[in-house]
């Protein structure tokens, strides 16, 4: 490749990257919310939380890494906000080391925004290695597996920990970007009859559809679209809706680039002929 061609290719790449950046930025700044039709899975998750009796306790597991946080954050915010607004108590953990810091920060912020009290209305117990052993151990006692919470407080001193085993919670919602929901199904649901729901990265949804069909997984909330659908049911303008606009704008730009690129290629072939 000649120097001229190299410079032209570099210029083209810069233009494409700049175009993607601008399209995403414009999508994030657009002042309207896209209309989305909630899927069956989203409605099922929403209905489950709506029907939880206020004052009940639920378990949430932040089973994702930081690389997927931009996709997982809108899902987590939508679900956790709904639970707190319904006055459902939250015991949260993480089966993934990176999910601990992310989950603790998000839960604390949303708890304070909803004027909830840490240790009474919500708690973050932290991370434990070896997910199978953690899930099985919690079936006997949460406080045995987590004698201290994420901040070093004895769990036995926290009022919310009167819910100390799976029979004391209405279910678990695993917010995951990988295979951890299957651990909850295999070791939580199968052994302790724990109801399992999951907010998943979009790429994982099809992998877990068979679990929903078989009844092993109650509901799936999938990807940015799932977050946008949930926000529409909550009647809020959240990160999922804005991210969907940005994603759509970027996709439109990429399609236009592909069309222009193919037209340019066909014209160059005609010139050579």
pLDDT one-digit tens code per residue, 39-96: 899 999 999 999 999 999 999 999 998 888 888 999 999 999 999 999 999 999 999 8
Rg of the Cα atoms in the chain: 22
Q: Tens digits of per-residue pLDDT, 201-236? A: 988 999 999 999 999 999 999 888 888 899 889 888
Q: Domains (ranges, CATH) in the chain?
A: 40-246 (3.40.50.10160)
Q: Is 32 left (phi over 0), alpha (psi -120 to 50) or beta?
A: beta
The pTM of the full predicted model, rounded to 2 decimals, is 0.82
CB count in 10 Å sphere of residue 236: 16
Q: What is the mean pLDDT of the chain?
A: 88
pLDDT for residue 238 is more than 70: no
Distance CA 166, CA 48 (A): 17
Q: Tens digits of per-residue pLDDT, 100-128? A: 999 999 999 999 999 999 999 999 999 99
Chain Cα centroid distance, residue 15: 32
Percent helix, strand, coil in the chain, to 5, is 60, 15, 25
Percent of the chain with pLDDT over 90: 60
């Amino acid at each position: 490749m000649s120097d001229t061609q190299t410079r032209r290719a570099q210029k083209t790449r810069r233009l494409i990257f700049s175009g993607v950046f601008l399209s995403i930025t414009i999508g994030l700044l657009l002042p309207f919310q896209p209309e989305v039709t909630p899927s069956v899975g989203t409605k099922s998750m929403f209905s489950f939380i709506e029907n939880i009796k206020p004052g009940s306790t639920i378990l949430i597991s932040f089973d994702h890494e930081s690389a997927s946080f931009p996709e997982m954050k809108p899902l987590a915010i939508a679900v956790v906000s709904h639970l707190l607004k319904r006055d459902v108590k939250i015991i949260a953990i993480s089966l993934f080391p990176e999910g601990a810091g992310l989950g603790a920060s998000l839960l604390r912020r949303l708890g304070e925004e909803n004027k909830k009290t840490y240790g009474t209305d919500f708690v973050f117990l932290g991370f434990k290695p070896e997910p199978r052993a953690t899930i099985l151990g919690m079936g006997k006692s949460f406080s045995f597996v987590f004698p201290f919470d994420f901040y070093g407080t004895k769990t036995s001193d926290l009022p919310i920990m009167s819910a100390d085993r799976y029979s004391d919670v209405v279910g678990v919602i695993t917010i995951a970007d990988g295979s951890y929901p299957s651990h909850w199904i295999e070791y939580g649901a199968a052994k302790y009859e724990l109801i399992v729901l999951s907010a998943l990265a979009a790429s994982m949804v099809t992998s877990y559809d068979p679990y929903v069909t078989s009844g092993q997984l109650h509901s799936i909330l999938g990807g940015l679209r799932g977050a946008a659908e949930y926000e529409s049911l909550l009647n809020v303008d959240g990160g999922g809706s804005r991210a969907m606009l940005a994603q759509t704008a970027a996709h439109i730009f990429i399609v236009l680039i592909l069309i222009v690129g193919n037209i340019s290629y066909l014209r160059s072939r005609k010139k050579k002929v």
